[in-house]
Chains A and B, each alone.
Chain A
């Protein structure tokens, strides 16, 4: 029934007894068991903040994602509350999944600080593939990938975010802005 594969395993006499090797393995697992068991006790008593175990109680505890992490794309909002976006539509073109919809608004004669802005700026996260092409295409540093990935919902229609929901103050995005500057400067755009 069975055929034997010659694995060329040369076992010493000590290993062939099998029992000492089992005990060796059990010492390793028991060491982990006891060190973790007694590592838990000060954690539960509250005298120690850090566990030795790497596992994270996810909804209660969260880890800081690396700055290169691509979460949901958001719009940068200037200090005066106006979007940095000029509604050029480059991100709309760059988007491979066609999840961005922009309707531009324009300054009508009376000159002020802003000439163009998006009247409607929708991103449908149900379609978005988080590729980061929009961020790369943007000439105005207006759209950025945030570190937020918790966008699962029970209703698909709610996943279409409008401009008001997307706007995030520039101050919150500062790290990502610096990262993208370094990143894209490397490629000499």
Chain B
């Protein structure tokens, strides 16, 4: 029992460390630097420690210091409790979804079964969507409690956009569930050991629709109407400053990682290398003994998983810095008139194909 507890604690610390401690600050740097390089610029490189700039990496530290030391401003007439609460409501679901996200398979280490997922729920996929949609409350409350017209407009747009695209997202997932026959994320990941059973090949239309819907959920360009700078200042977090603003900022970046992880598990072969099954890998490192080979394979597969996540983050960044913004009516049109019917068609076609094959 104590061993299980210790393993779970290590996994929790690892996930928190990777998402909050590594990805969230690094992604602020990546965002700047990648946009700069894509546009033939140099990008952030002025923050230095003793004249040493490390290609701008110290900007993460400078950002964090700035956020910590800024004045925490609550506007006049704002609801103080809700104004303080909403960034927490926004950021907690983003981290919480990682509870069911497997970042590796099952390994035997010192006669202990180690399953690299914090909580292996049977309804893991539903849990992800249930928790992720909770974040909407954070955004809506933020806009409502700020006592600002732009914030309210932004939160209204957030609510409508999130609801529209959650429908598409849910229906896209139905196709995936029909193909794999399980809601358990670990099972879905384990099935994709076979390269030709990757979600990308079984659900090609679903992949693109899920990508579009999840970027819309994350409110990034081309779906960034809730925080459109040129229209409504900064949307729902117009009145936020300091660490509260930082929490909204962080939740956006953690959501990017979450989307990358979910995409990897559902469509991109989870922690598997194409054409290399776990058994083959274990066979290669057999000379290290059971524990040694298991640890090595575990490290390799966790590395593979996170490199896939990094690829999806890169893809989202590229989309963000390539495409212009949709207009509000275009977003609604795309969500309700194109993606929703397409996802229904996707379910129908998947059902027919499964029926014919059986």
Contact = CB atoms under 8 A, between A and B. Distances in A.
Interface of A: 2, 19, 22, 25-26, 28-30, 32-33, 36-37, 40, 44, 52-55, 57
B318 A32 contact: no
Given A19-B208, A22-B323, A33 B318 contact: yes
Given A29-B322, A57-B42, 19 more contacts: A19-B208, A22-B323, A26-B318, A26-B322, A28-B322, A29-B38, A29-B318, A32-B37, A33-B34, A33-B37, A36-B37, A36-B40, A37-B37, A40-B37, A53-B40, A54-B40, A55-B40, A55-B42, A57-B45
Nearest to A28: B322
B354 to A, nearest CB: 25
Contacts of A54: 40
A11 to B, nearest CB: 14
B44 to A, nearest CB: 12
Interface in B281-324: 318-319, 321-323
B277 interface: no
B317 to A, nearest CB: 9
B160 interface: no
Contacts of A28: 322
A57 B45 CA distance: 9
Nearest to A40: B37
B323 A25 contact: yes
A69 B289 CA distance: 74
Q: Name the interface size band of chain B.
A: 10 to 19
B41 interface: yes
Contacts of A29: 38, 318, 321-322
B112 interface: no
7 contacts: A25-B322, A26-B318, A32-B38, A33-B37, A33-B318, A53-B42, A57-B42
B39 interface: yes
Interface of B: 34, 37-42, 45, 55, 208, 318-319, 321-323, 329
B172 to A, nearest CB: 15
B240 to A, nearest CB: 29
A26 B319 CA distance: 7
Which of A2, A36, A52, A57 has the most chain B CB atoms inside 10 A of its CB?
A: A36
Nearest to A37: B37
Contact of B38 (A2, A33, A40): A33
- The prevalent SS among residues of B at the interface is helix
A182 to B, nearest CB: 36
Q: Which 6 A-B pairs have the closest CB atoms?
A: A29-B322, A36-B37, A33-B38, A55-B42, A29-B38, A25-B322
Contacts of A30: 38, 318
A22 B318 CA distance: 11
B233 to A, nearest CB: 21
Given A26-B322, A29-B318, A55 B37 contact: no
Nearest to B315: A26
B319 A53 contact: no
Nearest to B37: A36
A113 to B, nearest CB: 51
A14 B55 CA distance: 41
Nearest to B321: A29
B40 A32 contact: yes
A105 B134 CA distance: 84
Contacts of A53: 40-42
Which of B37, B321, B323 has the most chain A CB atoms inside 10 A of its CB?
A: B37
A27 to B, nearest CB: 10
A16 to B, nearest CB: 11
Contacts of A37: 37
Contacts of A52: 40
Nearest to A39: B37
A52 B323 CA distance: 24
Nearest to A19: B208
A181 B55 CA distance: 47
A55 B41 contact: yes
A153 to B, nearest CB: 22
Contacts of B321: 29
